[in-house]
Structure 1
Amino acid sequence: MQVSGKVAIVTGAGRGIGAALVRALVAGGARVVAADIDESAAKEVTERVNAEYPGAVAGVGADVTDSARIAELIAVAEREFGPVDLYFANAGIIGALGLDADDAEWDRALGVNVQAHVRAARLLVPGWVERGEGYFISTASAAGLLTQIGSATYSVTKHAAVGFAEWLHITYGDRGVRVSCLCPMGVNTELLNQGDPEAAAAHPVARAVTAAGEVLEPDAVAEVTLAAIAEEHFLILPHPQVLDMYRQKGSDYDRWLRGMRRYQASLGL
């Protein structure tokens, strides 16, 4: 699929990968609804992009754990630009660390990182099947293929996001619905830095990610993502070494687990 002339919704669009996707999509000729729970951030991205590409973006505040709010995003896109062609389920949170996460924190992580994808697909996929075309892009993480040292909520929900994207692809891939799953490692975003790059050095999740490989800029991730969409690749890996890690995991699971425990110990965790 080429994005020129298409209509897209990007969640988590107020900053980081989401904002970069908005910029890349508009530069490629798409029109975009930029949604974020932080409405002011969504509006700021919208103003910056529209300054260069007038009228190409509509900014909306939305909590994607709410099906009604996702339905409103779709309605905004249809009213402003036309039927939705691409949906980027990009909003995500890390959640509390380890077993300290309580039930409410697990519910929030599942709601944002998994259920938001399910709810969007429930609203969009039937129409795409009727039209014979549509594209669902899930932002998971390398943690969804491997694991995330420090955060059980992030690791488990990102595995689930990958699993749901796989299911969508298998179930609807022969009915016109394309699906891709974005699985980066470290990206220079507020999610990684937790709003404070200096303090992030002491955060277990950030330490585990930054020590594992290069931290990419969001614009680089967006560029790789749109190139993969053009080729309709399912697995989008801005860090190519993740595929080698995934293969090593599958070829000898016990050895991989021992290696991960050693890596965790090397971080002092």
Structure 2
Amino acid sequence: MKIAGKVCVVTGGASGIGKALASRFVAEGASAVVIADLNGDAVSAVASEIGAQSFAVDVRDESAIAAMVAAVESEHGQIDLFCSNAGIIGVDGEPWWATGADNALWQRMWEIHVMSHVYAARACLPSMIARGDGYFLNTASAAGLLAQIGSAPYSVTKHAAVSFAESLSITHGDDGIKVSCLCPQAVDTAMTAGTEGGGVAGVDGMLSADAVADAVVSGLDAESFLILPHPEVEDYRQNKARSYDRWLGGMRKLRRLFTDPVGQ
């Protein structure tokens, strides 16, 4: 897919990866770029800066996503690419249990990392299927292919995000619907602020949001399902598939490096 001449929507577009994607789409010659974010003032400012259109939207609200999609389709005729990108981070509580995060965080991550993708697909698919063409870029994480040490709800919901993207591709690929799933490791955004080198996710280095946007444009051009800005992730994914037990042992060792360095 070439971005030039396309109508693109990006959620979580006020900062980080979302802002970088929207900026790059404008530079690539998209016919319209629409950015949505919970922070209405911030997304409006970004839209003015880059020459985009903005909506203040809580992606946990299906009716708000549906209303935005309807408004964009009414004004621009169609949505060619919907980038479901909004995300949050949170850590497990103490003691360091996989179940340590409270229920509210689990629920919030489920709604933002999974259901927002579902809501976007429900809103966009009817018109996309009717014309036999449409593209979804769902931002997940390398954690959705591997694991996020220190945040079980992040890891679990990002796995679900990858699975939903797979389901979209399997179910609607024959309808002309294309799907890509963005799975970076550490990216220099507000989500990694305050961590040294991106923490455990930064073991292979931290990329800029602009570098991720470069990878996305290349991945969309190739229509690749997995877009991996950190190429090492594919090796880790293959290692996990070859020997689950060995991979789990390696992940436990990595956890010890970041949580109990004295006890090595």
Task: Please report the TM-score for the alignment, with normalisation by the length of structure 1.
Answer: 0.91
List aligned pairs for 1:20-169, cutoff 5 A.
20-30=20-30, 31-50=32-51, 57-97=52-92, 98-169=98-169
- Give the partner amino acid of 2:41: S
- Helix, strand or coil at the partner of 1:23: helix
- Give the partner amino acid of 1:8: C
CA contact 2:13–2:37 (8 Å) conserved in 1: yes
CA contact 2:129–2:176 (8 Å) conserved in 1: yes
Asked whether 1:207 is paired with 2:199, we answer: yes
Match of 2:179 in 1: 179
Consecutive unaligned residues in structure 2, runs of 5 or more: 93-97
Q: Deviations over 1:88-134 (max 9, x none)?
A: 00001123424232222111100000000011101111221111000
- Give the partner amino acid of 2:156: V
- Helix, strand or coil at the partner of 1:87: strand
Q: How many residues align?
A: 254
CA contact 2:66–2:119 (8 Å) conserved in 1: no
CA contact 1:9–1:73 (8 Å) conserved in 2: no
Q: Distance in 1 between matches of 2:28 and 2:71?
A: 21
Q: Distance in 1 between matches of 2:224 and 2:62?
A: 28
- Which 4+ runs in 1 deviate beyond 4 A? none
- Helix, strand or coil at the partner of 1:35: strand
- Give the partner amino acid of 2:240: K
Asked whether 1:265 is paired with 2:260, we answer: no
CA contact 2:84–2:137 (8 Å) conserved in 1: yes
Match of 2:95 in 1: none
- Helix, strand or coil at the partner of 1:190: coil
Asked whether 1:216 is paired with 2:207, we answer: yes
Q: Distance in 2 between matches of 1:82 and 1:179?
A: 21
- Give the partner amino acid of 1:47: S
Which region of structure 1 is more displaced relative to structure 2, 73-82 or 220-229? 73-82
- Helix, strand or coil at the partner of 2:35: strand
CA contact 1:33–1:76 (8 Å) conserved in 2: no
| Deviation (angstroms), 1:201 | 3.2
Consecutive unaligned residues in structure 1, runs of 5 or more: 51-56
Which region of structure 1 is more displaced relative to structure 2, 176-185 or 37-46? 37-46
CA contact 1:32–1:77 (8 Å) conserved in 2: no
- Helix, strand or coil at the partner of 1:136: strand
| Deviation (angstroms), 1:231 | 1.2
CA contact 1:7–1:85 (8 Å) conserved in 2: yes
- Give the partner amino acid of 2:49: R
| Deviation (angstroms), 1:175 | 1.1
Q: Distance in 1 between matches of 2:106 and 2:49?
A: 35
- Give the partner amino acid of 1:99: T
Q: Distance in 2 between matches of 1:224 and 1:96?
A: 28
Which region of structure 1 is more displaced relative to structure 2, 248-257 or 25-34? 25-34
CA contact 1:186–1:216 (8 Å) conserved in 2: yes
- Give the partner amino acid of 2:208: E
- Helix, strand or coil at the partner of 1:149: coil
Measured on the aligned residues, the alpha-carbon RMSD in Å equals: 1.3
- Give the partner amino acid of 2:112: V
- Give the partner amino acid of 2:88: I
Q: Distance in 2 between matches of 1:248 and 1:112?
A: 29
CA contact 1:142–1:242 (8 Å) conserved in 2: yes
Q: Distance in 2 between matches of 1:207 and 1:2?
A: 34
Asked whether 1:228 is paired with 2:197, we answer: no
Q: Distance in 2 between matches of 1:121 and 1:74?
A: 10
- Give the partner amino acid of 1:90: N
Q: Distance in 1 between matches of 2:134 and 2:178?
A: 6
